[in-house]
Amino acid sequence: MPSQFNNMPEIIETNQLFCFEGSEKKMEIDFRPIGGGDPETIDVNGGLRQYNREFWSDVVAILNGTILLADPQEKFDAYLISESSLFVYNDRVIILTCGTTLLLKTLPAIMKAGADVGLEVCWFQYSRKNFLFPEQQSFPHTSFDQEVHFLQEHFPTGRPFIMGPLSSDHWYLFVADFIRRETPDGSRKIVDRDQMLNIYMYGIDPQVAQYFMKADPLIIPSIFEDFSGDSNVEKEQTKELGNQSEFCATGDEASDRSGISALLEHDGKVIHSHLFEPCGYSMNGQAADGSAYWTIHITPEAHCSYASFETNFSCDSYHHLIARVLEVFRPAKFTTVEHVDADSRIGISGPVCPASLDGYDLAGRTFNEFGTKDYVVQMCNYMSKTASYVPPPPPLLRAPPLHKSDSGEWSK
């Protein structure tokens, strides 16, 4: 995640905390040949993969982002962007963006791109966690009602859902489903084989957060902020941090030293990673011989620390993987969302149920079935048994910027 610290002396002088919205907005748009054709007839390198990096750069620019890194895999093209990630398969686009990006504004361009290569939308999903700083968002993301109104102009039959308690952690979902699941004789076609895991983590362990900051003495205190007002506590924490020298210089180093590189063990590897200046981290990975992706994005500053993990890797259960992710980040609280199609490996293996995780209590579970049990979504909230989550303070408006003179002095 790119850092919000664009003018460090200004922050130091005004003692303001500029809060970054780490939680991502996400769209998945699945296509089929126009007229209701079978997506499996699309060539693995055809369909949407016919578009090059320059085209997708123009799409990402619509949401106010840029492409940083790009790598083709066996079945998809992976793009690391300045505000998270983009994955392009022959028959679908998956894009997630953080901060104040205008993700939904890219929808018309992506739909047109599909139509221009003979494809139509067969399934659409937009989702996100509740924002920490909703007042920072712009149209069409100032509220879920506004997002729904925008989306129903494109998908009038789409349906909105809210999973989880509105008074705490909840998850918004909008789905438009045009998949034909019945054959002419009335039997059910096997078309729903996908599964997806999202983990949204808040209050990550400061000892972990330091891996995702460059060793700039001006920002060392930002991951060990003490909200009690005791400056001595912060000084001791900063001193301890400096002595440990756990900062990393590159994304690859942060991936290895934090344990991210080994998260999927022998089933996957990191494609590319990026350590932002002066702090923040993003990576894309591939699994299952290039057919599945996994991605992580991190905002390490203590007053708004956040990390996310997402994958469409196919396995019989995500519980072991969830536990491995928690071992890396050790968050104070987190939310999991599992999207499970009926004919996926998890869908076949048994009922979707909450993970039992050492050191965490299940605070709530919401479960929803779609269609005639064509797919289900489970959303769970967890709280640490030992670490307390401290909500971020309200974001402050930016003061007039400081300017650096030729002599090196800063002034308004």
Give the active site residues.
21, 24, 84, 98, 282, 297
CA distance 17 to 395: 7
Closest CA to 277 of 250, 305, 257: 250
Q: Is residue 66 within 8 Å of residue 81, measured between CB atoms?
A: yes
CA distance 297 to 264: 16
Closest CA to 143 of 155, 152, 134: 134
CA distance 65 to 188: 41
CA distance 215 to 211: 9
Which two three-digit tokens encode residue 184? 């002419």
CA distance 252 to 211: 11
Closest CA to 137 of 146, 148, 124: 146
Q: Is residue 297 within 8 Å of residue 171, measured between CB atoms?
A: no
Q: Supply angle C-alpha 237, 21, 338, rounded to 5.
A: 100
Q: If phi over 0 gives left and psi between -120 and 50 gives alpha, with beta otherwise, what is residue 265?
A: left
Q: Is residue 319 within 8 Å of residue 340, measured between CB atoms?
A: no
DSSP string, 97-136: E-TT--GGGGHHHHHHHHHHTTEEEEEEEEEEEPPS-GGG
Q: Could you give the residue ranges of the DSSP H alpha helices within 86-230?
A: 107-116, 144-152, 206-209
Is residue 143 classed exposed, middle or buried when 0-12, 13-18 and 19+ CB atoms within 10 A define those classes? middle
Closest CA to 48 of 79, 76, 20, 16: 76
